[in-house]
Amino acid sequence: MTAKVSDDVSRDGEIEVDVAEAIDFAVGLVKIRSVDEPGVSDESEATALVLEKMREWGWSPEHIEVAAGRSNIIVDVPGGGPAGPILAFEGHLDVVTDGDASQWSVDPFGGAIVDGRLFGRGAADMKAGVVSMLYGVRALQLAGPFPGTVRILALVDEEGMMLGAKHAVQSGALEGVAGVIICEPEGDEVCPVSKGAVRLRIDLDGVMTHGAMPDQGRSPLPALGRVLGVLGEIQRDLQERHGTHPHLGTTYVTPTVVEAGTPPQMNTIPARASLWVDIRSIPGVDHDQLIERIRTEVAAQGAVDGLDTTVSVIDNRPPVDTSIEDPVVTCLVSAHTSVTGAAPSFGGVPGTTDGTIFTRDANVPTVVYGPGGKWIAHQVDEFVEVEAIGRYALTYALAAREFLTRG
Ligand SMILES: [Zn+2]
């Protein structure tokens, strides 16, 4: 059996993707302004479109409210064959802001197709991926019975605090799932690894006083400077100890914000200095140990000047390190090879995805692979090659069939 992708259908033996309809559906989805912005985040119109299509196909999606007006879609597509594992596909329906629309050469929510590219905010990140997973699973289903079940998760708030993914885990949607394919755009790379992320806030508390009488207070500023130096040492140490990952590069401990005093009060020594830190780690870096080390070092620097210190963890997402031998990875590699005629490259995700939450909170193997370029996400003139939508749908269908029928 040879896999084929053409303008109107993608097929592999009896699996046939309705490419023309999938592209139409992608255009409709891109036209919906499902932007994730504080106070106005609203995926409901996109959710409604996806639900309508699923019901048209005879599926029975669950529509689960995560926050006011924001709901995850979770649906099982049973194979109608023998009992077997559950394979999940995941995509998010929110997009980041289009920013200054005048910077775009097309309407960010116009759904224009120009020279084979579908343009728009969310075209690549990741409405194309959502459409490919829907039409791939539909094609698999129409091709006849298969063992086990495919579960589809179309979630909200990935671009925010990943409320949709966190809620999906809490509501049990990952229970019994043997693997998850995250359909984020990765430029045709199969990405079994993702960087970890930790966000910290460090507070140094002294005693406010007049700039003319520093001996009457306790300034947090010299310690702030020393802490910045210590963070640089910790970064060097981690980079030496853990080296460079072939797909993820190295570990960074990056101070991003400092806050202390105000210019109009330049004759006053402030009581508090605060520092925010963005840590990006590779597999092997133990986040808990790292946070503990930062706490100890910050306390030691504060103690020199009699300061109280607090290190608060704002977010903690460990790296993902799925084995390339895991069936959720191998099924994609062979499906990609069958559809394109060449083995895929492996890559890594520089940021985090909903898959990071699934692996962290539900201990499920995840892999990231989806239509669209890796770097185009969040940029102006975001686009996805229209050709990729049908090709990925077929690849997902083949991958699911292999995953669910493996002995
Ligand atoms: Zn995304």
Question: What is the distance in A from the centroid of ligand 1 to the CA of 159?
Answer: 7
DSSP 175: T
Q: Which CATH number, 3.40.630.10, 3.20.20.370, 3.80.30.20, 3.40.50.720, labels domain 3-194+320-405?
A: 3.40.630.10
d(CA 257, CA 260): 10
pLDDT, residue 5, reads: 60
Question: What is the distance in A from the centroid of ligand 1 to the CA of 57?
Answer: 26
pLDDT, residue 8, reads: 54
Q: Which residue has the higher pLDDT, 161 or 285?
A: 285
Q: Which CATH architecture has domain 196-317?
A: 2-Layer Sandwich (3.30)
Tokens of 57: 């196909």
Question: What are the residues whose beta carbons fall under 8 Å from the beta carbon of 342, sequence distance 6 or more?
Answer: none
Residues in the chain: 407
pLDDT, residue 1, reads: 37
pLDDT > 90 fraction of the chain, expressed in percent and rounded = 91
Question: What is the distance in A from the centroid of ligand 1 to the CA of 353?
Answer: 7
Number of neighbouring beta carbons within 10 Å of residue 264 = 7
d(CA 15, CA 292): 52
Residue 11 has pLDDT above 90, yes or no: no
d(CA 142, CA 136): 10
Question: What is the distance in A from the centroid of ligand 1 to the CA of 126?
Answer: 5
Phi, psi of 30, rounded to the nearest 5 degrees: -65, -30
- Mean pLDDT confidence for 369-375: 94
Q: Locate the domains of the chain by residue range.
A: 3-194+320-405, 196-317
Which neighbouring-strand residues pair with 198?
Answer: 279, 316
- Mean pLDDT confidence for 341-360: 96
Question: What is the distance in A from the centroid of ligand 1 to the CA of 30?
Answer: 14
Question: What is the distance in A from the centroid of ligand 1 to the CA of 226?
Answer: 37
Question: What is the distance in A from the centroid of ligand 1 to the CA of 312?
Answer: 27
Q: Predicted confidence band at 375 (pLDDT cuts at 50, 70, 90)?
A: confident
Residue 4 has pLDDT above 70, yes or no: no
Residues 72-114 have pLDDT tens digits of: 999 999 999 999 999 999 999 999 999 999 999 999 999 999 9
Residues 221-244 have pLDDT tens digits of: 999 999 999 999 999 999 999 999
Residues 181-202 have pLDDT tens digits of: 999 999 999 999 999 999 999 9
> Which among 290, 360, 370 has a CA at the least distance from the CA of 321?
360
Question: What is the distance in A from the centroid of ligand 1 to the CA of 81?
Answer: 33
pLDDT, residue 39, reads: 79
Quote helix, strand, coil % in the chain, to nearest 5: 35, 30, 35
pLDDT, residue 24, reads: 97
Phi, psi of 249, rounded to the nearest 5 degrees: 75, -140
**Interstrand relation of 252-259 and 272-281 (parallel, antiparallel or unpaired):** antiparallel
Question: What is the distance in A from the centroid of ligand 1 to the CA of 158?
Answer: 7
Question: What is the distance in A from the centroid of ligand 1 to the CA of 283?
Answer: 21
Number of neighbouring beta carbons within 10 Å of residue 281 = 24
Which neighbouring-strand residues pair with 152?
Answer: 75, 89
- Mean pLDDT confidence for 368-397: 95
Question: What is the distance in A from the centroid of ligand 1 to the CA of 136?
Answer: 19
pLDDT, residue 407, reads: 61
Residue 310, exposed/middle/buried by CB under 10 A (0-12, 13-18, 19+)? middle
Q: Which residue has the higher pLDDT, 11 or 293?
A: 293
Residue 10 has pLDDT above 90, yes or no: no
Question: What are the residues whose beta carbons fall under 8 Å from the beta carbon of 169, sequence distance 6 or more?
Answer: 357, 358, 361, 362
Residues 267-325 have pLDDT tens digits of: 999 999 999 999 999 999 999 999 999 999 999 999 999 999 999 999 999 999 999 99
CA angle 305, 308, 310 (to 5 degrees): 130
pLDDT, residue 2, reads: 40
Q: Tokens 């985040």, residue?
A: 41
pTM: 0.91
